[in-house]
Structures are given as C-alpha cells and as structure tokens.
Amino acid sequence: MQQAGLDPTALRSAPSVRLAGMGRVDLCIQDEANEINTHDFGLNVAGLLEDSDGWVIESWLGGHRQQANRPAVDSKRSYGQSGFQAVYRTGRTALGLDYNWTFLEMNDHPGDWSRVRGPLASGMVNRRFGRFVLGAVVGSESENESRISTDFFAIRHRQSRWVGQVGAQAALGPTMLALGWDFERGNVKGKSIDDARFHEDELAWARPVDRYSVSLILPARGGLEAGLRARFMDRTGGETKDVSWSDTSPENPSKDLFRRVGLVTFREEESDAEVAGRARLDKGSLTFGLEASYHTWEWSAVETSNFKGSNRAGSLSSDALQVAAGVSSRWLQGRLLLAVQGEVGEEDWEESEALQTLSGTARHGTLGAGAELFVHQDVVLRGGLWFTSQDGDVNEPLTLSRGRGLAAGASWLPRGGTVQIHGTLRQMKTEPEEPKAARVDEKDEISFLLGMRIMI
C-alpha cells in the first residue's frame, strides 16, 4: 500500500475516527485509541488491561478511493475496511474477540487490475500475576488476490495463515516494561494462466515472519508522560513452482509438452528495525506532543541456478528518519479544542536490479490543524486542514509534489459518553510542483470512516 501511495495505517484494527476527523493531529490530543501505554504505543497485547476496566465493544467501517493521473497513464486505487471488537476487562483478566475484513484494489493500466480481499479473526487473553501480566492474541487471516494482465496472463493467489503475538509486561516500580514476539505462518498458494492456455504455473510461496519488540513506558510526572519502543523483524522464504508449457505455445522452442514439478525459483530475505519515542506534556489548558522515529529496512531475492525469469531477483534497502511535534489548547470552558501539528521526514533508499543500481533521497513534510467543538453536551463537530510536500528524489528534477486536504467529522455522545458514534469524511488532492513532471502523479482522493464505541 505504501508503494501505491496509500496509507497503510488506515486499515489497522479499531481506528480512531475522532482523530481522523481532526486531520490526524494525534500527538497532542488524548484519545482512547491512541494512548502512551504498552498497548496503543508499545503495540503489545499484554497492555490490554491498561486501557480501561469493563466491557468495551467497538465496530467500524471505512473506505478510501484514489484517482491518480499522469500524462500517459491514469490509475484508480481503493481500499476499505470493516471490523468488530469486544473486550472484557477486570482488574486481573482481559478477554477479547476481534474480526477485521479489508480489501485493496488497484487498476494502474488500462485493462489491468489487481484485487486483494481478506478477513482476520482473532482472540485475545490477558492475565495479571502481581506486577506481571501475560497476554496472547492468535488469529487466522485469509487473503485472496487476483491479478489480471492484458499482456499475457492472470494470476490468482490464496493465503491462509496463522498470525498472533505473545507478550509480557512487568511493572518496574513506576516504569512499565513490555516484551513481545509476533509471528505469521502460512504459505501463499497461487496459479497463473494465460487466456490461450499456452502456459500454466502453480506456486507455493513461503513467507514466515518473526518480529520481536520491547517497549518502555516512563512514569507520568507533572503532566509529562513518555514511551519508547523498538521492533525488529525477520523473514526468510522462497517460492516453489510447478511449471507447464503447452506444445502449441509459440514461446516453447521444443514444441513438446514441457513440465517441471517442485522447481525452486527464488529465495528471499527481509529484515527491518524501528526505534521510536513519544512524549506528551499537559500544562493547564495546553498540551504539547513530540515524536521521533528511525526505521531501516532491507530486502533481497536471488534466483536459483535452474530457473531464470522469476522477475524477483534484486534488492531494496531504505533508512528513514521522522520527527513530529504538536500543540493543542482548550477554550470556551473546555468546549473548544484547537491543535496544530507538523512533521518532517527523510528516507534514503537504494535499489539494485540486474546490472544497474538506483539510489536516492526522498523528503516529505506535513503541516496540519484541527478543531473540535461541543455544540451540545451530546453533539461534537470536528474539522481539519493540512498541507503536504513530497519530493520523490531530491537529487532529481521534477519530483516535487504539493498536497492539501480537508476533513470534517461529527460525534453523538449519548449517556454521558458511554456510547460514542463517530463519523469522518476526508478529501485530499496532490499535484506536481511542475506541470511537466511526468514521474509525479496528480491525485484526487476521498475517504470516509464510521465508528461506534460502547463502554459498559
């Protein structure tokens, strides 16, 4: 989704519809789905008990559509999500169920399209033992993908995998420490075939994932709260393929039926590491927020000696640094909340394919403002405005684009806030700085997000 220019965080479980309606000024605003604790910030299931005490039931529905235009190519991309989560908490135990269904569809060339759909169903459990908490979440995730190409063939992928996390949390005095191990197990199984049935492949692509994480939540003092987290991922896999060429195929030089079974086409390795810190300071009616993160990523694939043409050989690597800060303030006896947030980032990347190596540096920046107003004790209106700058490669000309976006949202909060119904609509437009910039898309995007939260 990042390569397609879409926002992958929009598909996470239980999104914050409230913050989306304010333009996602999330650093300097307290929010139930975005707290500095081992669960929301540390991404550890063992922190599930820290969120609240009692039943919480949530459901959400969202969609996003993007129209990207270039001088020679127009593309359409969309994704969507729907989900349901129920969590029961006591002082010592938390139990939860989660169901999340997502889809992603892209049509980047006339007549070509790809589509991915898949549900994730999981169960969560937490148990406190004095100063220690153990937690686990295990789920089954399915994914079905179709890729249609007018040039040659169609590809269909199916994947059913076990995903989850085992986490532990310990109170070291006022400081909270959490450790986690995420896993993903399951092979991609696929089939490719051309319309004339000249060529047919069946594949099994192994992509196991192990991710290790550690987070540290510092004690709140004088209105200051802060957290640190580090995450490390490793993936080692490869593809095994059964290949078949028809004896009538014009690309089959032998003019005989050609079939190979159990052919290893390529092997891949992928790893990444992320370190991030966030802090928030409350001073009267003002709240300040700060976050910094560093992310490094490497991927490589090597074709085996007995199979050339998998189109997988090559390597990619990147290092990214991002810093963000924000401030919010309350007015009109607390009924009006105003916030401003900005972020800047830089990414150095390198790509190697065959005999050529490409490298560059990308930079981006965002400045946004959001507002929230209680027009009634049960009704809240929200709005957001932001501007973006994205340079795909600062070393190359005509790669700079500018963007702007608007968000509007509303909430109904009956029964003193124990029931929350939120809605958000967002519109975004991105244009190249120079009209002749053929490498930069002109994008028009619109998205919506609905959510309901019940606390018992």
> Which tens digits make up the pLDDT trace of 91-145?
899 999 999 888 888 887 666 677 777 888 999 999 999 999 999 999 998 888 8
With 90 as the cut, is the pLDDT of residue 88 above it?
Answer: yes
Q: Assess if residue 218 is contained within a domain.
A: yes
Q: What is the pLDDT of residue 11?
A: 52
Q: Which of 62-76, 108-122, 265-279, 294-308 has the highest mean pLDDT?
A: 265-279
Q: Assess if residue 421 is contained within a domain.
A: yes
Place of tokens 């220690």: 132
Q: Assess if residue 77 is contained within a domain.
A: yes
The answer for residues whose C-beta is within 8 angstroms of residue 305's C-beta and 6 or more apart is: none
Cβ neighbours around 27 below 10 Å, total: 23
Q: Which tokens hold the place of 93? A: 């135990």
Q: What is the pLDDT of residues 315-344, one digit of tens each?
A: 999 999 999 999 999 999 999 999 999 999
The answer for residues whose C-beta is within 8 angstroms of residue 375's C-beta and 6 or more apart is: 381
Q: Which domain holds residue 80?
A: 8-455
Burial of 298 (0-12, 13-18, 19+ CB in 10 A): middle
3-state SS, one letter per residue, for the chain: CCCCCCCHHHHCCCCCHHHHCCCCCCCCCCCCCCCCCCCCCCCCHHHHHHCCCCEEEEEEEEEEEEEEECCCCEEEEEEEEEEEEEEEECCCEEEEEEEEEEEEEEEEECCEEEEEEEEEEEEEEEEEECCEEEEEEEEEEEEEEEEECCCCEEEEEEEEEEEEEEEEEEEECCEEEEEEEEEEECEEEEEEEECCCCEEEEEEEECCEEEEEEEEEEEEECCEEEEEEEEEEEEEEEEEEEEEECCCCCCCCCCCCEEEEEEEEEEEEEEEEEEEEEEEEEECCEEEEEEEEEEEEEEEEEECCCCCCCCCCEEEEEEEEEEEEEEEEEECCCCEEEEEEEEEEEEEEEEEECCEEEEEEEEEEEEEEEEEEEEECCEEEEEEEEEEEEECCCCCCCCEEEEEEEEEEEEECCHHHCEEEEEEEEEEEEEECCCCCCCCCEEEEEEEEEEEEEEC
Q: Assess if residue 1 is contained within a domain.
A: no
Q: Identify the band that residue 276 occupies on the pLDDT scale cut at 50, 70 and 90.
A: very high
Asked whether the beta carbons of 372 and 382 are under 8 A apart, the reply is: yes
With 80 as the cut, is the pLDDT of residue 153 above it?
Answer: no
Q: Assess if residue 3 is contained within a domain.
A: no
Instruction: Give this prediction's pTM.
Output: 0.88
Beta-ladder partners of 240:
204, 264
Asked whether the beta carbons of 230 and 216 are under 8 A apart, the reply is: no
Q: Assess if residue 2 is contained within a domain.
A: no
Interatomic CA distance for residues 370 and 406, integer angstroms = 10
Asked whether the beta carbons of 105 and 113 are under 8 A apart, the reply is: yes
Q: Identify the band that residue 358 occupies on the pLDDT scale cut at 50, 70 and 90.
A: confident
Report the CATH number that the domain containing residue 424 is assigned in CATH. 2.40.170
Q: What is the pLDDT of residue 52?
A: 66
Structural domains in the chain (count): 1
φ/ψ (deg, to 5) at 416:
65, 25
Task: Taking residues 278-300, report their average pLDDT.
Answer: 96
Asked whether the beta carbons of 269 and 300 are under 8 A apart, the reply is: yes
φ/ψ (deg, to 5) at 212:
-115, 140
φ/ψ (deg, to 5) at 9:
-70, -15
Q: Identify the band that residue 195 occupies on the pLDDT scale cut at 50, 70 and 90.
A: low
With 80 as the cut, is the pLDDT of residue 186 above it?
Answer: yes
Q: Assess if residue 158 is contained within a domain.
A: yes
Read off the amino acid at residue 373: L
Q: Which tokens hold the place of 92? A: 């010592």
With 80 as the cut, is the pLDDT of residue 168 above it?
Answer: yes
Q: Assess if residue 295 is contained within a domain.
A: yes
Average per-residue pLDDT for the chain: 87
